[in-house]
Structure 1
Amino acid sequence: MTTHHTAARTGRKIPPGALKAYVASLTGTSLEYYDFAIYSVASALVFPKIFFPGNDEFVGLLLSFSAFAVGYLARPIGGVIFGRLGDKIGRKQVLVVTLMLIGVATVLIGLLPDYSVIGVAAPTILVLLRLAQGIGVGGEWGGAVLLSSEFGDANKRGFWSSAAQIGPPAGNLMANGVLALLAATLSTEAFLSWGWRVAFLASALLVVFGLIIRLKLEETPVFKAIAAHGEQPKAPITEVFRKEPRALVAAALSRVCPDVLYALFTVFVAVYATKELGMTTGNVLTAILVGSAFQLFLIPLAGALTDRFNRRMVYGIAAVGTALYIPLFFLMIDGKSVLMLTVGVVIGLAFHAFMYGPQAAYITEQFPARLRYAGSSLAYTLAGVIGGAVAPLIFTALYAASGDWYLIAAYLLVASAVTVVGLALGRNPQTAEEERLLADAASLA
């Protein structure tokens, strides 16, 4: 009768369903970042030619990147829609819908006829599908985090919540693996003609795998207890803004530094290393892949570490360390050594892991259980717009203005300070509510 409660108190047992929920959570965010990676490549190399053709190649590129940005701008819409539903009807049902929405939109992009076949309808449909992806992603993250954390041990929320955070490196590794295979086996003409579609269609495998697991899962024990006591909020979005403004601000600000840092080491470093240092794209991609591989282990390790030590302290140390490390990184790679670039990126992504690993736990524990889906989704999506979405553009503008890395380091310093403020405004883990709800769920089983 008290299995969940015992596990939460002693930490000696894995709660029922926790491992399956961990995998289900990881699958959804892996699909999100797999899509992110292949869409990034296609936006730069393929879409300007086949969906936005014209005499001016630069205009086509801008239009293609604008379609890419639509996915980011749509995320808060998904956060509002699915965050509300997740707190009203449950985590599982919403997560099945978000996974389907992201997956179907990605597959349809792979099947979409180009401009030469259906004219202006092609870019129009592409933007609409990107909009659907963004809406789905906006509702996916908060639910994925709650799925693993609410099946897991409340006293080990840092570890269990980290499942969703493994998605970026896992998705990047899978996407780059698929793209590398296609590049090795296809000519440039074949890749532009149909090879890029294979990368999008391959996402169907992740969707099917994720759906199989999610459909077999029960609703989370925490939401079962909330529903049994009739504590679902009638207007969760309104309640978050009215009752939890400090929590929302704290959670959103905590995301800024890791988002900006990730954009630096996975996007802008490619521009800087190739244009300023004369390295090849292959050199940069190898460094990013090695760093991503280390993150597969560092992210859950960081989450687990914050279960033993103060979560805000570990997170804050990583944020401050980031501000100090960025100047050192640029000095390290100034000698144009590929080895130093790789080491530098690995260390940079390690700093990211020690913020990103515990980030999910930190954000969700700012809100009471009955408002977690809405609050977490809003914080995640709103912070993404002011953090990761604009960071590559800001990096590019600062680099163009100065011709050096000093302003970029200053930007990271500001981002680190913003995250430290978010941590100062937040609260430490409070497991009493979680343990009570898990005990109630166990007694009702």
Structure 2
Amino acid sequence: MHDIRLIRENPAAFDAGLARRGGSPVAAAILDLDTRRRDVLTRSQAAQARRNEASKAIGAAMAKGDRAGAEAIKAEVAALKDQIPAQEEAERALTAELNAMLAALPQIPADDVPLGADEADNVEVLRWGSPRTFDFTPREHADIGPALGLDFETGALLAGARFTFLRGGMARLHRALGQFMLDLQTGTHGYTECITPLLVRDEAAFGTGQLPKFAEDLFRTTDGRWLIPTAEVSLTNSVREQILPDTALPVRMTALTPCFRSEAGSAGRDTRGFIRQHQFEKVELVSITRPEDSDAEHERMTACAEAVLQALNLPYRKVLLCSGDMGFTARKTYDLEVWLPGQGAYREISSCSNCGDFQARRMNARYRPDGTKTNAFVHTLNGSGLAVGRTLVAVLENYQQADGSVAVPDVLVPLMGGVARLTPPGG
């Protein structure tokens, strides 16, 4: 949500920011609506004040024996009483219209975000690790996995396309990855582990920007709740409608949860394999910070996600997203893309975003800076640390062997009960 005061102060700058995301000028329409709303509010407040003043004047007129004057004032009060509800309703309607207009607009990109239209304009920041040289032709995970317990057919039989059933060592490797990520983020990086609701109300999905614009990307239950597409929703909303003490910041939280996405608009993309699922698990990182600390926190969060890939010795690259490729709530985003030798390409495995005060305004999440009596909106950040299923894909492809087995990364062997290799039956 945007600060209407900033739009009033510099409408041209606001339109210029939206233009960087490919948006059309809207400041003039917003300010026209805001002016009409404030005019109605002013008239309503003036009518309220006059009614209160006139009510007192009736008693004074009666005390003086001025019955005619008192009756005239009573008539005025009656007329005001009829006007005020209509004015209040007009103000509520205009406020709702203004809020809906503001809520539909994306975040303004940070100044250092590169200008661009889509992923082709993203900027590579660094590469880590060297892709492995194979003495055989590496296969994609969808070809390696079924013999090891990655069962696409049973998943589809039970629930349809984009659902997968994991068995045996494959299921344990998936569990070990999630456990390793949680242990690293809590034990080394200081995030607090959380277990959150998987269902949320409208206001929670609105707070982090999923509603109203992206309702089609979510699954909804028959009682009107939403299945979370990421633990960002429940973690970030844990501070909604609160005023945090300055000493509580930064708040750093993490959770390993199932996530649910309808994948609307992804028809034909990644239909084969485990990369784009309706149900998947992810370790989410969320930070709540002071405004002046959020840029540094963004770099820190991204490094925490990178640490997982480095520990697993998975080659990756870090990409700064351009203005046209960022998510709705983000002012700046880094994507981490892991190397998949079977595809011969880097694929997204984490996205870390600084949302500024955009989500905080939607959630009314504030803090009280030390030494002040006024409250300010916090900044919120979120990132994947990492998507477990996509990390499993990366392990399968990068650690595959010529005989169809897959070596287990060293850091995962203790979590696998000492198992150092997944081997097909009879292998």
Q: Identify whether the pair has TM-score above 0.5, normalized to the shorter chain.
A: no
Higher RCO (CA < 8 A, seq sep 6+):
1
Q: TM-score, normalised by structure 2?
A: 0.24
Normalising by structure 1, report the TM-score: 0.23
Larger Rg: 2
Higher helix share: 1
